[in-house]
C-alpha cells in the first residue's frame, strides 16, 4: 500500500508520540530526534520496528560504508586503511 507524504508523517508522528510518551504536537517535520526529542539508541530500535510494521517497509539500519562497499567494491572505498577519493566523497 502506498502512502501520501502527509499519511507517512501522521503515522511517524503517532508512532513517536506513543513510543516516547510525548504529545504529538511536539513532533514536527523539523524536530531533531536526538537533540529535541531525546531519542536514545534503544528508542531508535523500537521505533524502527514499529514503523516497519505500521508502514509495511524495511528500514536500512546498517553501516552506510558497508552498503557502499557492496555497491562499489571495498577496494574502491579504502586502500591500506585509508579512504580513497571515492570513499571520501561518499
**Residue 77, burial from CB neighbour count under 10 angstroms (0-12, 13-18, 19+):** buried
- pTM exceeds 0.85, yes or no: no
Q: What are phi and psi of 83, to 5 degrees?
A: -70, 140
Tell me the Ramachandran region of residue 56: left when phi exceeds 0, alpha when psi lies from -120 to 50, beta otherwise.
left
pLDDT digits (tens, 9 = 90+) for 58-79: 887 666 667 777 777 778 878 8
pLDDT over 90 at 7, yes or no: yes
Q: So what's the pLDDT on residue 64?
A: 67
pLDDT digits (tens, 9 = 90+) for 12-71: 999 999 999 999 999 999 998 888 999 888 898 899 899 999 998 888 766 666 777 777
Amino acid at each position: 500500500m502506498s502512502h501520501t507524504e502527509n499519511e507517512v508523517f501522521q503515522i511517524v508522528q503517532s508512532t513517536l508520540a506513543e513510543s516516547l510518551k510525548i504529545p504529538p504536537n511536539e513532533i514536527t517535520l523539523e524536530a531533531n530526534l536526538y537533540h529535541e526529542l531525546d531519542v536514545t539508541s534503544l528508542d531508535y530500535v523500537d521505533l524502527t520496528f514499529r514503523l516497519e510494521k505500521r508502514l509495511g517497509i524495511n528500514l536500512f539500519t546498517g553501516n552506510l560504508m558497508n552498503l557502499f562497499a557492496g555497491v562499489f567494491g571495498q577496494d574502491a572505498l579504502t586502500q591500506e586503511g585509508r579512504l580513497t577519493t571515492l570513499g571520501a566523497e561518499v
